[in-house]
Amino acid sequence: MGIRRYRNISVFIILEVKMLLRNKKSINNLGQIIILYIFSLLIFILKAKTSFRESIFYFIILSLMSGAFIVGHGVYLLTWESTYFNSLITKTVSLKQFFRSKFWLFSFSALFFTIFNILLLIVSDNSSFIFLYLSFLFFNVGIISPVVILVSLFNNERAALDKGIFFNYEGYGAWQYLMLFLELSIPGILYFIFSYLVSTMGAIIIIGLLGIIGIILTNFLNSLIIKLFNKRKYLIIDGFNKK
């Protein structure tokens, strides 16, 4: 049963990756994510040892280094399936595995970015930031990932995947980008709070532990997501059916 479960999760991940790479809207969005990721690296390299590191924007940049795909892809999460959502939901689909696949896709993306980020921190003589980066990485995977999935349940607008994202506002509004900014800001805000209340290292440890706890409680968080989805299922379907 365990092997079959993970096989089914991998099928959902493969289908989503294929969707991402084969459609104009999703590939355009992926291009934006890559540009945003590269931008965050450049800003970090240029500003890591300046007074900029004392601002919330520095921590947003740091969060982007591992979470660019999580928030960039997640802002449209269910919208990607909006044109065939009715067909998907009427099949014998395991919601547990469906949403777990989203979590695993986010986790893989964060780990993929981390390979380059750790090398960058070492090569650019910023290895002292590795523990801070890792704490943000765990937080993004364990806390921000389920938050992004939960928020996506309130995005009920249909979007055609064969259209590009430029001058095309199907499937999103200003509130999603506000949420994106807030999601990226959460670890930085917590860092400032715990740095003040405890210490800098204490803040790093607490943020990392919160992320690890979120990862451990993935099944519990996934069940909360499913409960909210079941409450909003017909609103989501109704929204996706409107053209």
**How many CA atoms within 13 Å lie on the side-chain side of 31?**
10
Q: Give residue-wise pLDDT tens across range 115-151.
A: 989 988 888 777 778 999 999 999 999 999 999 999 9
pLDDT at 63: 93
From the list 81, 103, 90, the residue with the least C-alpha distance to 18 is 81
pLDDT at 126: 77
Judged by phi (left if over 0) then psi (alpha if -120 to 50, else beta), residue 125 lies in left
Neighbours of 40 (CB within 10 A): 22
| pLDDT, greater one: 143 or 230 | 143
- Average pLDDT across the chain, whole number: 84
| pLDDT, greater one: 180 or 86 | 180
Biggest CA–CA distance in the chain, Å, is 54
